[in-house]
């Protein structure tokens, strides 16, 4: 059975260096999974076309059909590559808005590779100071190596080496291979905690009148 890899790109330009990096990573992960005797189904989720729907969902609390479909993609993924451009020394607002709208359990235990692009290498710490903590909050299994690419890095052997190292770590987790040396074991895709696609999965709700029973309001 093919593993499902979701590539989330928050690039907003055309062509987009963020999408270019996302595609390079996806290709490397695919090669890594294939080399381990497994197959992978890669889906790409571009966030720019969802911008209006994300804003509507944030302001109304009601998810549009497109946002609901994107949430379902996240909940169904066996692994995720999340790539953001750097705006004002952090991840983009579009990137953050999408992850704000996920159910808190949508990424629990999911192997994730984080990456970012920027015009200058001075922003390279964004991944460790902003993106990685966001994924930790969502309880994702973020691989040890993150990938940062400044404009000058594209086409360099150093970026290629880092892409392949990070992709190899994600591929190991996707196929359930042995742990990366020096780090924790890979995610067990069969036993990871329950996940949810939407933000409305509340379970059984206690009636408000019952919650207030015995209270006078004083």
Average pLDDT over residues 108-125: 95
pLDDT for res 14? 87
Domain ranges, ordered by start, for the chain:
3-211
10: Cβ–Cβ under 8 A, 6 or more apart, which residues? 18, 47, 48, 83, 84, 85, 91, 92, 94, 95, 98
pLDDT in tens, 125-148: 999 999 999 999 999 999 999 999
Task: Decide if domain 3-211 falls under CATH 3.40.50.360.
Answer: yes
Coil, strand, or helix at residue 91? strand
pLDDT in tens, 69-106: 999 999 999 999 999 999 999 999 999 999 999 999 99
**Segment (H or E) for 209:** helix 208-211
Nearest to 43 by CA among 63, 22, 57: 22
Phi first, then psi: give them for residue 39, nearest 5 degrees: -120, 160
C-beta separation of 211 from 121 below 8 A: no
pLDDT for res 1? 81
* N-terminal to C-terminal alpha carbon distance within the chain: 60
Average pLDDT over residues 190-205: 53
Q: Is the pLDDT of residue 167 over 80?
A: yes
pLDDT in tens, 53-65: 999 999 999 999 9
Strand partners, 49: none
């Amino acid at each position: 059975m093919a593993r499902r890899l979701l590539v989330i790109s928050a690039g907003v330009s055309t062509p987009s260096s963020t999408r270019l990096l996302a595609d390079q990573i996806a290709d490397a992960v695919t090669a890594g999974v294939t080399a381990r005797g497994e197959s992978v189904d890669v889906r790409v989720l571009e966030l720019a076309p969802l911008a209006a729907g994300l804003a509507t969902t944030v302001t109304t609390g009601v998810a549009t059909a497109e946002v609901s479909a994107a949430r379902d993609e996240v909940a169904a993924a066996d692994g995720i590559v999340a790539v953001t451009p750097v705006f004002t020394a952090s991840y983009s607002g579009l990137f953050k808005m999408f992850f704000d709208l996920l159910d808190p359990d949508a990424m629990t235990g999911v192997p994730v590779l984080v990456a970012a692009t920027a015009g200058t290498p001075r922003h390279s710490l964004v991944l460790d100071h902003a993106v990685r903590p966001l994924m930790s909050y969502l309880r994702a299994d973020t691989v040890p190596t993150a990938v940062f690419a400044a404009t000058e890095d594209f086409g360099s052997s150093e970026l290629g080496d880092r892409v392949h190292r990070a992709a190899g770590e994600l591929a190991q987790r996707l196929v359930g291979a042995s742990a990366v040396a020096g780090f924790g074991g890979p995610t067990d895709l069969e036993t990871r905690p329950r996940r949810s696609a939407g933000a409305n999965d509340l379970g059984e709700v206690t009636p408000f009148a019952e919650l207030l029973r015995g209270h006078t309001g004083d």
